[in-house]
Structure 1
Amino acid sequence: MATATIDGTAWARAAASPAKAQLKIRPYSLARPRGVFVAAELMLLAVALLQTAWSGHILGAPVLIASCVLFFHINNLDRSIVSSNSPQFWIDLLECTALGFLASAILFHIFPGLVPRVEIALGAALLTGLLPVILRSCLRHLVTHGKFVDQILIVGTGDLPAKLQRALDHGMGRPARNRQMLTLSESPNRRGAVDLAELNELVVRDRISRVVIAELDSQCREKLAVALLDSRLRGLQVGDAVEFYEKFSGKIWVEALNPQWFVYTDGFKGSQAGIRLKRCVDVISALLLILLASPLLVLIAIAIRLESEGPVLFRQVRVGLHGKTFVIYKFRSMRQDAEFHSGPAWAAECDERVTRVGRLLRILRLDEIPQAFNVLKGEMSMVGPRPERPCFVNRLEQEIPFYSLRHYLKPGITGWAQVMYRYGASVEDSYEKLQYDFYYAKHRSFRCDAAILLKTVRTVLFCRGC
């Protein structure tokens, strides 16, 4: 896809000066094969139903395939299927397939009547494994020849258009690069310029399907509206950069936000009934977690005491709902005097202060289990933004815009940022996680929480923790 970026002077400068802002075009490509992926999955389920209809086990193979397909979508395999990062695709494929088989095995154990014949199960497993591989080969070939590729025009008069391009490059797993630029101008005789009045022709010629507005003052926005009126009435999609970035990346672009966005955007819904339902689910989930993990809790406590001196449980003050502080419980994973010399510090991925038992607990996220008691006390939820220490919160609120708004949600044992981003140990990492936290805040629902919990299971089973 060729994405044209209309770039120019800073918004404040353009607003203060009567001079015309320069508008520039930058080519870009973005593959969107999701529709093909979904169609292929539906076809696979139909084949499975036809294959097993005669056997008397009509639901066995479809259950197996549907379980794998569910994890394909939870882990966004359709987004990475045409990525240039081949190793990650294969890792994701193996993990999704393994989780699908595990979920199917649990269902077959609970409902023995669903168990398919061996040859049918093997056939379903083969079809499930081959589908993404065949699709990957076909889609990469088609995308190379311009199929299933969106044509986008990014518009702006500040730095945000270029930053959006870099974000897209990063999301596609490829390095950012400088691109040839043309200038759009209201002066067609200007050297190297394309007439702004010909923007509709550009949209038609390059088959542009969407215009993304990154940053425009009112004057430029009005001129752009006039230039794109014909194309808009013919079906051209026009949207905001924050909305586009959100759909593409699964996070909210904090740098492009202002208070008006929080007030007027859709989402951020939270009814009293929904809050009560979430609380009921939290209590039941916390009790089940404590009950099922109780034998493991004893073993962990013994291992911690055998390796190092100090308490088994680690208590620390964190900032919770509406900025109120509370004491969080965790299994101790560091030396007892970890901050005696250094003072408060973020925990890093390969932190030397972490004990051997603690490192294993962090990898498997088992050190977080005692927080189930925080959930029962109403201080935390099963799913939500991770609570930070007051000393870090004070710093982050000074350096990151809108950081304090994350405290309008109850903190969680796991969250969207935890399953989508690596271990955070800096202001930059906190900034990235805040973008995921805002995405969760906007879209929070029972379905969203369920997806996060399933992603957390994947993180634990495949050791994607610290």
Structure 2
Amino acid sequence: MIRLFKHYIPYAVLLLGIVDFALLLVAAEAGWRIKLWQIDTLAEPIRTRLPQLLSFAIALECALIAVGAYGDEALQSLRFAAARLLVAVSLGVILISLMFFLFPELTLWRSNSAYAMGLAIFLLILVRALFGRVLGGESFKRRVLVLGAGARASRIAALARQPGSGFVVVGYVAMNEGPQLVPEAIDRRAIESLGDHVVQLSASEVVLALDERRNALPLKDLLRIKTTGVHVNEISTFLERETGRVDLDSVNPSWLIFSDGFSSGRRLSSMAKRVFDLAASLLLLVVAAPVILVTAVLVKLESQGPAFFRQQRVGLYGQNFWIPKLRSMKQNAEAPGTAVWAEKDDPRITRIGRVIRKIRVDELPQVWSVLKGEMSFVGPRPERPQFVAELEKDLSFYAERHMVKPGITGWAQINYPYGASLEDARHKLEYDLYYAKNYTPFLDMLILLQTVRVLIWPDGAR
């Protein structure tokens, strides 16, 4: 993987993204020339239409990211990839139409765009048909040697077997740190030189996965491996990179303290984030006002009680605030002073409520909290004080998620379905810690784009 702006991106995904962008430029140029050929006009130098070509390619590339065209399933299955590409192009049509309405001089003519869209679909599917197996195969996977044969090493083995894994384990070395759970592991005493062993296996990375590190840390071996040019990682950093979350089973306070992340030099990024929140919330409130009003009328007609309600949540630095929502449950669904997790097929949810929860319309009034500065568009989902009090007792590092402003969407929301249990809260916390640790405007942009995928395919909404 390569790290861009503190976020890990697989090499195969990055390469495919670059190739896609180049093909989109080719499709846009071809669409332009087809139209000129039809009207029997000579083409001017390409620099004269570069803004139009770029606007087409950028709009389609954003749509590809938004619908999940670079996810594991899209790299593994051509049928899945083709379906996502068709949705992406449909979304691209909407984006380009909007751009044509706002900035007609910066976009292709409608006929040019139609030709370019058709060519784009053909080229994008073709490149996946020709190179999909290579991109999703072992050619781009790192060769990893695991030092350890216990529970942590077996977790790496399970992760390597998952579809879309970005690495392949070339061997395990039992370091005599405890019970051996990986039967194929080679005893360290049977290896004369661990450095030579790494070279013989053509390993590109060594991961330290010891269950018990006391008196077992092989410093001389690690130094020799490091000086051969092979990357050495410990399991917490390795799992963060491979899973996109901070693994609570392996992490400890010292790793959080000394690892890269939680940078305080975010003043400019925070200012830019706030400016975006202000501008976007004002625009969205104006655009979404009719939707909110119509939904409020429907809620009011279906069941007794107010269409809107306020709920207390825990925000930045643990401060409580109130968020407005459209009511999706029956009136008095909870006893006063109590908080109950929403369940699958929750009987408290009304018919209108089930629909608006699926498409997230019930959360639109929260844009008002973004405008006030209590929330951001992107950040950890704010929880209710009663839940926070319980989770802080049961989950280590839960309070650290409140070191960033809560959001309407976030890294946990796009990577993990809605959960209503302690185990679900634990998994979501791992994603929230990753976001808090690695926050950049680039990560915010990725989250906002991929939120479209969650809206189109609303798995897990309750």
What interval of TM-score do these two structures reach, taking the shorter chain for normalisation? 0.7 to 0.9
- Cα distance in 2 for residues equivalent to 1:115 and 1:376: 31
**Aligned match of 1:147:** 139
**Aligned match of 1:226:** 220
**Aligned match of 1:64:** 56
**Aligned match of 1:253:** 247
**Aligned match of 1:288:** 283
Give the TM-score normalised by structure 2: 0.80
Unaligned runs of 5+ in 1: 1-30
> In the TM superposition, what is the alpha-carbon distance from 1:238 to its structure 2 partner?
1.3
- Cα distance in 1 for residues equivalent to 2:373 and 2:229: 49
Is 1:354 the counterpart of 2:349 in the alignment? yes
Q: Would the alpha carbon gap of residues 354 and 286 (structure 1) be closer, same or farther in structure 2, given more than 3 Å must change?
A: same
**Aligned match of 1:4:** none
**Aligned match of 2:88:** 96
Q: Would the alpha carbon gap of residues 304 and 141 (structure 1) be closer, same or farther in structure 2, given more than 3 Å must change?
A: closer
> In the TM superposition, what is the alpha-carbon distance from 1:269 to its structure 2 partner?
2.2
Q: Would the alpha carbon gap of residues 212 and 77 (structure 1) be closer, same or farther in structure 2, given more than 3 Å must change?
A: farther
> In the TM superposition, what is the alpha-carbon distance from 1:322 to its structure 2 partner?
2.0
* Alpha-carbon displacement from aligned partner over 1:370-412 (angstroms, at most 9, x marks no partner): 1122223332222211111122112212222111111122211
**Aligned match of 2:102:** 110
Q: How many residues align?
A: 426
Q: Would the alpha carbon gap of residues 112 and 344 (structure 1) be closer, same or farther in structure 2, given more than 3 Å must change?
A: same
Q: Select which of 439, 442, 448 maps to 2:437.
A: 442
Q: Select which of 242, 266, 272 maps to 2:236.
A: 242
* Alpha-carbon displacement from aligned partner over 1:405-456 (angstroms, at most 9, x marks no partner): 1112221122111122211211111111111111111222323223322222
- Cα distance in 1 for residues equivalent to 2:337 and 2:156: 38
Instruction: Report the secondary structure of 1:344's partner residue.
Output: coil
- Cα distance in 2 for residues equivalent to 1:327 and 1:343: 16
Q: Provide the alpha-carbon RMSD of the alignment.
A: 3.4
Q: Which amino acid aligns with 2:96?
A: S
> In the TM superposition, what is the alpha-carbon distance from 1:169 to its structure 2 partner?
3.9
Q: Select which of 280, 301, 313 maps to 1:306.
A: 301
- Cα distance in 1 for residues equivalent to 2:53 and 2:376: 36
Contact 2:27 2:120 in 1 (8 A): no
Instruction: Report the secondary structure of 1:197's partner residue.
Output: coil
- Cα distance in 1 for residues equivalent to 2:285 and 2:133: 50
**Aligned match of 1:377:** 372
**Aligned match of 1:414:** 409
Q: Would the alpha carbon gap of residues 399 and 90 (structure 1) be closer, same or farther in structure 2, given more than 3 Å must change?
A: farther
Contact 1:108 1:114 in 2 (8 A): yes
Q: Which amino acid aligns with 1:242?
A: S
Instruction: Report the secondary structure of 1:413's partner residue.
Output: strand
Give the TM-score normalised by structure 1: 0.80
**Aligned match of 1:266:** 260
Contact 1:381 1:411 in 2 (8 A): yes
Instruction: Report the secondary structure of 1:317's partner residue.
Output: strand
Q: Would the alpha carbon gap of residues 330 and 50 (structure 1) be closer, same or farther in structure 2, given more than 3 Å must change?
A: closer
Q: Would the alpha carbon gap of residues 82 and 212 (structure 1) be closer, same or farther in structure 2, given more than 3 Å must change?
A: farther
Q: Would the alpha carbon gap of residues 245 and 74 (structure 1) be closer, same or farther in structure 2, given more than 3 Å must change?
A: farther
- Cα distance in 1 for residues equivalent to 2:298 and 2:29: 52
Q: Indicate the larger mover: 159-168 or 365-374.
A: 159-168
Q: Indicate the larger mover: 147-156 or 195-204.
A: 195-204
Residues 42-61 of structure 1: pairs in structure 2 closer than 5 A = 42-45=21-24, 47-48=26-27, 51=30, 52=32, 55=43, 57-61=49-53
**Aligned match of 1:134:** 126
* Alpha-carbon displacement from aligned partner over 1:74-126 (angstroms, at most 9, x marks no partner): 55533426654666544543333333332222212222234435664344323
Contact 1:320 1:407 in 2 (8 A): yes
- Cα distance in 1 for residues equivalent to 2:268 and 2:98: 32
Contact 1:196 1:227 in 2 (8 A): no
Q: Would the alpha carbon gap of residues 284 and 150 (structure 1) be closer, same or farther in structure 2, given more than 3 Å must change?
A: same
Is 1:40 the counterpart of 2:23 in the alignment? no
* Alpha-carbon displacement from aligned partner over 1:354-377 (angstroms, at most 9, x marks no partner): 111111111111111111222233
Q: Which amino acid aligns with 1:411?
A: P
Q: Indicate the larger mover: 142-151 or 103-112.
A: 142-151
Unaligned runs of 5+ in 2: 1-9, 34-41, 177-184
Q: Indicate the larger mover: 326-335 or 338-347.
A: 338-347
Q: Would the alpha carbon gap of residues 449 and 126 (structure 1) be closer, same or farther in structure 2, given more than 3 Å must change?
A: same
Q: Which amino acid aligns with 2:85?
A: L
Instruction: Report the secondary structure of 2:208's partner residue.
Output: strand
